[in-house]
Amino acid sequence: MEHEPVLTSEGMKALEEKLQHLETTRRREVSKQMKTAIDHGDLSENAEYDEAREAYLKLEKQIDETATLIARARVIKDSEISTKKVGIGSLVQVEDIKDGSKKQEFRLVGPTESNPENSKISHLCPIGMSLMNSKLGDVVSVNTPGGIKKYKVIAITK
């Protein structure tokens, strides 16, 4: 079964901005690229036209997928984010049980918004699934490629 796409309000705003950019700026660029290629004449042997056509089809697919995601997604309201237990939208601070000085902070988000470099992790990834529904003080085990890691939940905020 496919999961309902879930977004934070920040994630929805970013998707709407992306769609706006694709439908305006990017569409104009690709349209100009197509016109230039068509102006070069014979389309049957025009690699520039083929490239522009591919870019157009790819762009339209991207626009359609983004619009569909926006239409299907459920936005987590700020009022739905609990500070009592971890859920989508929660900002969680954990402490490595083995090395208590090693603390990490994650924002749990839907897979669409996931961006580990910015500490945004999907609630469906191993650490996200382990943290879901945990409470302050809970110790969670995460199966990692390097073995099982244990983390203690030391803060849950919005």
Q: Which domains does the chain have, with CATH numbers?
A: 6-76 (1.10.287.180), 78-157 (3.10.50.30)
Query: Which regions in the chain score pLDDT beneath 50?
Result: 1
What was the pLDDT predicted at 4? 78
Helix spans in the chain (H): 9-21, 27-39, 47-72, 126-131
Do the strands 139-144 and 6-8 form a parallel or antiparallel pair, or are they unpaired? Answer: unpaired
Q: Full-prediction pTM beyond 0.85? A: no
Nearest of 103, 105, 125, 104 to residue 114 by alpha carbon: 125
Q: Note the pLDDT of residue 49.
A: 85
Q: What is the pLDDT of residue 1?
A: 43
